[in-house]
Structure 1
Amino acid sequence: MGNLCGKPSSDPFSSPGRRLDSAPAPNKPASASVPQSVSASNTSKPSPKVGGPPRTLGGGSGSPSSSQDDARRKAAEAAEARLQQSQKGGKLTAQLNKDKAKTRVDTLKDASETERRHRDADNNAEVLRNS
Protein backbone atom coordinates (compact mmCIF):
# COMPACT_ATOMS: atom_id res chain seq x y z
CA MET A 1 0.00 0.00 0.00
CA GLY A 2 1.33 3.38 -0.89
CA ASN A 3 0.70 6.97 -0.13
CA LEU A 4 -2.34 8.18 -2.06
CA CYS A 5 -1.50 11.88 -2.37
CA GLY A 6 2.26 12.03 -1.96
CA LYS A 7 5.34 11.33 -4.01
CA PRO A 8 6.79 7.87 -3.87
CA SER A 9 9.63 7.88 -1.40
CA SER A 10 12.89 6.16 -1.98
CA ASP A 11 13.60 2.90 -0.25
CA PRO A 12 15.48 3.57 3.05
CA PHE A 13 17.64 0.53 2.39
CA SER A 14 18.78 1.63 -1.06
CA SER A 15 21.59 3.86 0.26
CA PRO A 16 24.80 2.31 1.57
CA GLY A 17 24.78 1.82 5.32
CA ARG A 18 27.50 2.04 7.95
CA ARG A 19 28.82 -0.41 10.48
CA LEU A 20 27.34 -0.39 13.95
CA ASP A 21 30.67 0.27 15.65
CA SER A 22 31.46 3.35 13.52
CA ALA A 23 30.31 6.79 14.64
CA PRO A 24 28.39 9.06 12.29
CA ALA A 25 30.20 12.01 10.77
CA PRO A 26 30.22 14.97 13.17
CA ASN A 27 27.87 17.75 12.10
CA LYS A 28 28.60 21.43 12.53
CA PRO A 29 26.33 22.71 15.32
CA ALA A 30 23.66 25.02 14.01
CA SER A 31 23.77 28.56 15.31
CA ALA A 32 21.24 31.33 14.87
CA SER A 33 22.37 34.17 12.71
CA VAL A 34 21.81 37.72 13.94
CA PRO A 35 20.83 40.35 11.38
CA GLN A 36 23.41 43.10 10.88
CA SER A 37 21.01 45.92 11.79
CA VAL A 38 20.20 44.38 15.19
CA SER A 39 23.75 43.48 16.10
CA ALA A 40 25.05 46.96 15.20
CA SER A 41 22.48 48.73 17.41
CA ASN A 42 23.16 46.50 20.44
CA THR A 43 26.91 47.12 20.47
CA SER A 44 26.49 50.74 21.56
CA LYS A 45 24.50 49.82 24.69
CA PRO A 46 26.30 48.17 27.58
CA SER A 47 24.70 44.94 28.75
CA PRO A 48 22.71 45.28 31.99
CA LYS A 49 24.41 44.03 35.14
CA VAL A 50 22.62 41.24 36.91
CA GLY A 51 23.21 40.60 40.57
CA GLY A 52 23.37 42.56 43.77
CA PRO A 53 22.03 41.77 47.21
CA PRO A 54 19.03 39.43 47.39
CA ARG A 55 15.66 41.05 47.97
CA THR A 56 12.36 39.64 49.18
CA LEU A 57 9.32 39.94 46.98
CA GLY A 58 6.72 42.44 48.10
CA GLY A 59 9.13 44.15 50.44
CA GLY A 60 9.08 47.90 50.76
CA SER A 61 12.05 50.21 50.77
CA GLY A 62 13.09 49.02 54.25
CA SER A 63 15.84 46.57 54.98
CA PRO A 64 15.07 42.84 54.77
CA SER A 65 15.45 42.28 58.51
CA SER A 66 12.86 44.95 59.39
CA SER A 67 10.34 43.50 56.91
CA GLN A 68 10.86 40.04 58.40
CA ASP A 69 10.32 41.41 61.90
CA ASP A 70 7.20 43.21 60.70
CA ALA A 71 5.87 40.00 59.11
CA ARG A 72 6.54 38.05 62.32
CA ARG A 73 4.78 40.69 64.39
CA LYS A 74 1.74 40.63 62.11
CA ALA A 75 1.62 36.83 62.18
CA ALA A 76 1.79 36.84 65.99
CA GLU A 77 -1.01 39.39 66.20
CA ALA A 78 -3.18 37.30 63.87
CA ALA A 79 -2.52 34.17 65.93
CA GLU A 80 -3.49 35.98 69.13
CA ALA A 81 -6.69 37.27 67.52
CA ARG A 82 -7.63 33.73 66.42
CA LEU A 83 -6.96 32.41 69.91
CA GLN A 84 -9.14 35.07 71.52
CA GLN A 85 -11.91 34.45 69.01
CA SER A 86 -11.86 30.71 69.67
CA GLN A 87 -11.93 31.24 73.44
CA LYS A 88 -14.85 33.63 73.17
CA GLY A 89 -16.88 30.89 71.59
CA GLY A 90 -20.25 31.05 69.97
CA LYS A 91 -23.24 28.91 69.17
CA LEU A 92 -21.20 26.09 67.64
CA THR A 93 -18.67 26.09 70.47
CA ALA A 94 -21.44 25.83 73.05
CA GLN A 95 -23.05 22.99 71.10
CA LEU A 96 -19.72 21.17 70.82
CA ASN A 97 -19.06 21.50 74.54
CA LYS A 98 -22.58 20.20 75.25
CA ASP A 99 -21.97 17.18 73.00
CA LYS A 100 -18.60 16.52 74.65
CA ALA A 101 -20.25 16.48 78.07
CA LYS A 102 -22.70 13.74 77.04
CA THR A 103 -22.09 10.24 78.27
CA ARG A 104 -22.36 7.18 76.08
CA VAL A 105 -25.82 6.38 77.41
CA ASP A 106 -27.06 9.90 76.64
CA THR A 107 -25.72 9.66 73.10
CA LEU A 108 -27.44 6.30 72.55
CA LYS A 109 -30.73 7.69 73.91
CA ASP A 110 -30.57 10.63 71.52
CA ALA A 111 -29.85 8.32 68.57
CA SER A 112 -32.73 6.05 69.57
CA GLU A 113 -35.14 8.98 69.87
CA THR A 114 -34.10 10.28 66.45
CA GLU A 115 -34.61 6.86 64.91
CA ARG A 116 -38.10 6.61 66.50
CA ARG A 117 -39.05 9.98 65.02
CA HIS A 118 -37.91 8.85 61.56
CA ARG A 119 -39.92 5.64 61.83
CA ASP A 120 -43.03 7.55 62.90
CA ALA A 121 -42.65 9.98 60.00
CA ASP A 122 -42.26 7.06 57.55
CA ASN A 123 -45.37 5.35 58.99
CA ASN A 124 -47.41 8.57 58.71
CA ALA A 125 -46.29 9.02 55.09
CA GLU A 126 -47.29 5.43 54.31
CA VAL A 127 -50.74 5.94 55.84
CA LEU A 128 -51.25 9.11 53.79
CA ARG A 129 -50.25 7.32 50.57
CA ASN A 130 -52.66 4.45 51.20
CA SER A 131 -55.64 6.67 52.01
Structure 2
Amino acid sequence: MGNICSRSSNEPEAFSGPGRVVGASPSSPSAAPRAPLPAKNWKNTPGRTLGDSRDTQGGADEARSNAAIAAQKRAEEASSNKGKLGSKLAAQKAKTQTQTLGEVSQDERAARDADGAEEARRWQ
Protein backbone atom coordinates (compact mmCIF):
# COMPACT_ATOMS: atom_id res chain seq x y z
CA MET A 1 0.00 0.00 0.00
CA GLY A 2 2.84 2.34 0.64
CA ASN A 3 4.06 2.20 -2.95
CA ILE A 4 0.71 3.23 -4.40
CA CYS A 5 0.57 6.51 -2.45
CA SER A 6 4.24 7.38 -2.51
CA ARG A 7 5.40 10.73 -3.89
CA SER A 8 7.99 9.26 -6.25
CA SER A 9 5.37 7.56 -8.43
CA ASN A 10 2.96 10.55 -8.49
CA GLU A 11 3.23 13.51 -10.86
CA PRO A 12 4.65 16.74 -9.37
CA GLU A 13 2.18 19.17 -7.85
CA ALA A 14 0.50 21.60 -10.25
CA PHE A 15 1.81 24.83 -8.70
CA SER A 16 5.30 23.73 -7.73
CA GLY A 17 6.97 24.84 -11.00
CA PRO A 18 7.05 28.14 -12.88
CA GLY A 19 3.81 29.30 -14.51
CA ARG A 20 3.04 29.29 -18.24
CA VAL A 21 0.43 30.62 -20.64
CA VAL A 22 -2.68 28.53 -21.22
CA GLY A 23 -2.31 26.52 -24.41
CA ALA A 24 1.50 26.62 -24.45
CA SER A 25 3.39 23.38 -24.59
CA PRO A 26 4.70 22.37 -21.15
CA SER A 27 8.01 20.95 -22.39
CA SER A 28 9.69 24.04 -23.92
CA PRO A 29 9.08 27.51 -22.51
CA SER A 30 9.31 30.01 -25.39
CA ALA A 31 10.50 33.57 -25.03
CA ALA A 32 8.06 36.33 -25.92
CA PRO A 33 8.72 38.15 -29.21
CA ARG A 34 10.52 41.44 -28.81
CA ALA A 35 10.45 44.62 -30.84
CA PRO A 36 13.65 45.49 -32.70
CA LEU A 37 15.95 47.97 -31.04
CA PRO A 38 16.26 51.42 -32.60
CA ALA A 39 19.08 51.85 -35.08
CA LYS A 40 20.53 55.01 -33.55
CA ASN A 41 22.31 54.79 -30.22
CA TRP A 42 20.62 57.49 -28.15
CA LYS A 43 22.97 57.09 -25.22
CA ASN A 44 25.83 58.84 -27.01
CA THR A 45 23.90 61.92 -28.20
CA PRO A 46 24.52 65.17 -26.27
CA GLY A 47 20.85 66.08 -25.65
CA ARG A 48 19.37 69.50 -25.00
CA THR A 49 20.27 71.79 -22.16
CA LEU A 50 17.56 73.13 -19.90
CA GLY A 51 17.31 76.69 -18.71
CA ASP A 52 17.65 80.18 -20.08
CA SER A 53 19.38 79.70 -23.39
CA ARG A 54 18.80 82.80 -25.58
CA ASP A 55 19.38 81.29 -29.02
CA THR A 56 16.71 78.56 -28.77
CA GLN A 57 14.07 80.53 -26.84
CA GLY A 58 13.55 83.25 -29.47
CA GLY A 59 11.42 81.07 -31.71
CA ALA A 60 9.46 79.62 -28.79
CA ASP A 61 8.60 83.08 -27.39
CA GLU A 62 7.40 84.24 -30.79
CA ALA A 63 5.31 81.12 -31.31
CA ARG A 64 3.81 81.48 -27.83
CA SER A 65 2.83 85.11 -28.43
CA ASN A 66 1.34 84.25 -31.85
CA ALA A 67 -0.71 81.48 -30.25
CA ALA A 68 -1.94 83.85 -27.52
CA ILE A 69 -2.99 86.44 -30.11
CA ALA A 70 -4.84 83.80 -32.14
CA ALA A 71 -6.62 82.51 -29.03
CA GLN A 72 -7.67 86.03 -28.08
CA LYS A 73 -9.08 86.63 -31.59
CA ARG A 74 -11.04 83.37 -31.41
CA ALA A 75 -12.47 84.30 -28.01
CA GLU A 76 -13.53 87.76 -29.23
CA GLU A 77 -15.14 86.28 -32.33
CA ALA A 78 -16.99 83.65 -30.30
CA SER A 79 -18.33 86.25 -27.86
CA SER A 80 -19.62 88.49 -30.67
CA ASN A 81 -21.37 85.62 -32.54
CA LYS A 82 -23.72 84.41 -29.82
CA GLY A 83 -26.82 83.71 -31.88
CA LYS A 84 -30.23 83.02 -30.42
CA LEU A 85 -29.20 80.47 -27.80
CA GLY A 86 -26.10 82.42 -26.82
CA SER A 87 -28.10 85.57 -26.17
CA LYS A 88 -30.65 83.59 -24.11
CA LEU A 89 -27.85 82.09 -22.07
CA ALA A 90 -26.25 85.47 -21.49
CA ALA A 91 -29.61 86.88 -20.33
CA GLN A 92 -30.10 83.93 -17.98
CA LYS A 93 -26.60 84.35 -16.53
CA ALA A 94 -27.24 88.05 -15.97
CA LYS A 95 -30.21 87.35 -13.69
CA THR A 96 -29.69 87.52 -9.96
CA GLN A 97 -30.68 84.74 -7.61
CA THR A 98 -33.65 86.78 -6.35
CA GLN A 99 -34.98 87.24 -9.89
CA THR A 100 -34.60 83.54 -10.66
CA LEU A 101 -36.35 82.50 -7.44
CA GLY A 102 -39.15 85.01 -8.14
CA GLU A 103 -39.77 83.50 -11.58
CA VAL A 104 -39.84 79.96 -10.20
CA SER A 105 -42.23 81.05 -7.45
CA GLN A 106 -44.54 82.72 -9.97
CA ASP A 107 -44.58 79.55 -12.11
CA GLU A 108 -45.44 77.42 -9.07
CA ARG A 109 -48.29 79.76 -8.09
CA ALA A 110 -49.70 79.61 -11.62
CA ALA A 111 -49.55 75.80 -11.58
CA ARG A 112 -51.34 75.67 -8.19
CA ASP A 113 -54.05 78.06 -9.43
CA ALA A 114 -54.59 75.93 -12.53
CA ASP A 115 -54.85 72.78 -10.38
CA GLY A 116 -57.34 74.51 -8.06
CA ALA A 117 -59.48 75.65 -10.96
CA GLU A 118 -59.49 72.11 -12.41
CA GLU A 119 -60.51 70.67 -9.04
CA ALA A 120 -63.30 73.24 -8.69
CA ARG A 121 -64.62 72.32 -12.17
CA ARG A 122 -64.80 68.63 -11.28
CA TRP A 123 -66.98 69.24 -8.20
CA GLN A 124 -69.78 71.08 -10.08
TM-score by length of 2: 0.38
TM normalised by structure 1 equals: 0.36
